[in-house]
């Protein structure tokens, strides 16, 4: 199945740039704010390794099939995954993504962590960039799509529905109608909490960081902190500006206690709901091209021990001393 999927996705060529701080044209998206707590991958390339040979055997072709979804949508092949050996990951944990096989968890680091921030009073201790994956053998198409979504994060994109420009202050509804009570872990997490702790301005159904501190799934739905995420809309947008076809938007009934009748998220003005998107949208591709191709780029050079570095030969000479 994986090899069949690999064979049907076409190849697309294109150029690239890297960026640090920039202003963007009108392409609409939500991404990390590079330089705030992380950066984009140098040369739009993600070096990766696997936590075991077994993980590689299972996920190597699946990861490349997920990338083919992006290529089929128009992403240039200058955006790529580069497999390196596990020893390189161990010795250089900040420069690569570590693919971990889990039982039922899909999660990914977003961008490249800024190592100089590690251990300061203002930032928590950094973890090495990881891509945590699992496989649903009964639904390989879903598995590939879900990993393609995670790769969108790894390259720097955030959830479309968490764009702060779609929400009013304190996580209140404007473009979306957020039904916090419909989340499957709502009763478990809110037991014993006061009304203010749930619905107040900093409550777990209003503030992403509060929800995150409780391990509450609302953290994946509520708006991002505008000081740490970049929105091409600025501070205000309407429903016409939402990329409803984005791979980075959750389906209305995701995480719901009743995935047939009770939506977690709907369009506020008419109650419309949407299903999962199975491939990156034109907007998703344009977002990554804009991020990595910006004319305001200040390139982040590869590390010296990277074969792409102009100093790699010198590094090899002196590292063996």
Using the predicted structure, report yes or no on whether residue 154 has a pLDDT greater than 70: yes
Asked if residue 151 and residue 57 are part of one domain, the reply reads: yes
In a domain, 195, yes or no: yes
The Cα angle at residue 211 between residues 210 and 212, in degrees rounded to 5? 90
List pLDDT tens digits, range 213-236.
999 999 999 998 876 777 666 667
Position 259 scores a pLDDT of 92
CATH number at residue 147: 3.40.390
Domain interval for residue 236: 169-279
In a domain, 134, yes or no: yes
Helix (H, G, I), strand (E, B) or coil at 209: helix
Question: 252, 178 in Cβ contact below 8 A?
Answer: no
pTM above 0.75, yes or no: yes
Asked if residue 299 and residue 205 are part of one domain, the reply reads: no
Using the predicted structure, report yes or no on whether residue 36 has a pLDDT greater than 70: no
Asked if residue 65 and residue 130 are part of one domain, the reply reads: yes
In a domain, 21, yes or no: no
Asked if residue 256 and residue 112 are part of one domain, the reply reads: no
List pLDDT tens digits, range 66-123.
999 999 999 999 999 999 988 888 888 888 999 999 999 999 988 887 765 444 545 5
Using the predicted structure, report yes or no on whether residue 286 has a pLDDT greater than 50: yes
Higher pLDDT, residue 23 or 288: 288
Position 227 scores a pLDDT of 66
In a domain, 15, yes or no: no
In a domain, 12, yes or no: no
Mean pLDDT of 22-27: 40
Using the predicted structure, report yes or no on whether residue 27 has a pLDDT greater than 60: no
Asked if residue 254 and residue 235 are part of one domain, the reply reads: yes
Using the predicted structure, report yes or no on whether residue 143 has a pLDDT greater than 50: yes
Using the predicted structure, report yes or no on whether residue 55 has a pLDDT greater than 80: yes
In a domain, 289, yes or no: yes
Position 177 scores a pLDDT of 96
Asked if residue 242 and residue 142 are part of one domain, the reply reads: no
**Cα 151 to Cα 68: distance, rounded to the nearest angstrom:** 11
List pLDDT tens digits, range 238-273.
888 899 999 999 999 999 999 999 999 999 999 999
List pLDDT tens digits, range 56-75.
999 999 999 999 999 999 99
Using the predicted structure, report yes or no on whether residue 26 has a pLDDT greater than 60: no
In a domain, 5, yes or no: no
Report residue 145 CA to chain centroid gap: 13
The pairing of beta strand 30-32 with beta strand 38-39: unpaired
**Cα 105 to Cα 130: distance, rounded to the nearest angstrom:** 12
Asked if residue 227 and residue 152 are part of one domain, the reply reads: no
Position 309 scores a pLDDT of 56
Position 21 scores a pLDDT of 31
In a domain, 7, yes or no: no
Asked if residue 113 and residue 56 are part of one domain, the reply reads: yes
The pairing of beta strand 80-83 with beta strand 38-39: unpaired
List pLDDT tens digits, range 160-218.
999 988 998 877 888 999 999 999 999 999 999 999 999 999 999 999 999 999 999 99
Question: 288, 280 in Cβ contact below 8 A?
Answer: no
Position 33 scores a pLDDT of 63
Average pLDDT, the chain: 81
Higher pLDDT, residue 262 or 300: 262
Q: Is 190 exposed, middle or buried (0-12, 13-18, 19+ CB in 10 A)?
A: buried
Asked if residue 218 and residue 129 are part of one domain, the reply reads: no
Asked if residue 286 and residue 146 are part of one domain, the reply reads: yes
Q: What is the number of domains present in the chain?
A: 2
Question: 138, 160 in Cβ contact below 8 A?
Answer: no
Asked if residue 193 and residue 77 are part of one domain, the reply reads: no
Position 225 scores a pLDDT of 82
Asked if residue 290 and residue 262 are part of one domain, the reply reads: no
């Amino acid at each position: 199945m994986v090899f069949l999927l690999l064979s049907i996705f076409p190849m697309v060529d294109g150029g690239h740039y890297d960026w640090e701080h920039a202003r963007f044209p009108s392409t609409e998206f939500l991404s990390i704010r590079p330089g705030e707590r992380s950066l984009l991958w140098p040369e739009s390339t993600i070096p990766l390794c696997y936590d075991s040979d077994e993980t590689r055997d299972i996920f190597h072709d699946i990861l490349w099939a997920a990338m083919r979804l992006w290529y089929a949508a128009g992403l240039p092949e200058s955006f790529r995954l580069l497999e390196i050996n596990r020893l390189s990951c161990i010795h250089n944990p900040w420069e690569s993504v570590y693919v971990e096989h889990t039982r039922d968890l899909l999660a990914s680091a977003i961008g490249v962590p800024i190592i100089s921030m590690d251990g300061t009073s203002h930032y928590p201790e950094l973890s090495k960039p990881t891509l945590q994956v699992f496989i649903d053998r009964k639904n390989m198409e879903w598995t590939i799509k879900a990993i393609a979504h995670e790769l969108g994060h790894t390259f720097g994109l955030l959830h479309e529905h968490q764009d702060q420009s779609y929400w009013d202050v304190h996580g209140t509804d404007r473009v979306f109608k957020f039904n916090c009570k419909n989340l499957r872990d709502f009763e478990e997490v809110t037991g014993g909490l006061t009304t203010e702790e749930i619905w107040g301005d900093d409550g777990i159904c209003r503030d992403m960081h509060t929800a995150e501190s409780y391990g509450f799934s609302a953290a994946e739905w509520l708006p991002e902190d505008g000081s740490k995420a970049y929105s091409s809309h600025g501070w205000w947008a309407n429903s016409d500006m939402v990329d409803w076809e984005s791979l980075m938007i959750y389906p209305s009934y995701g995480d719901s206690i009743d995935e047939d009748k009770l939506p977690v998220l709907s369009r506020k003005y008419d109650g419309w709901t949407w299903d999962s998107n199975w491939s990156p949208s034109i907007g998703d591709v344009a977002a990554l091209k804009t991020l990595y191709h910006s004319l305001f780029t200040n390139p982040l050079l590869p590390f010296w021990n990277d074969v792409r570095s102009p100093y790699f030969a010198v590094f090899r000479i002196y590292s063996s001393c």
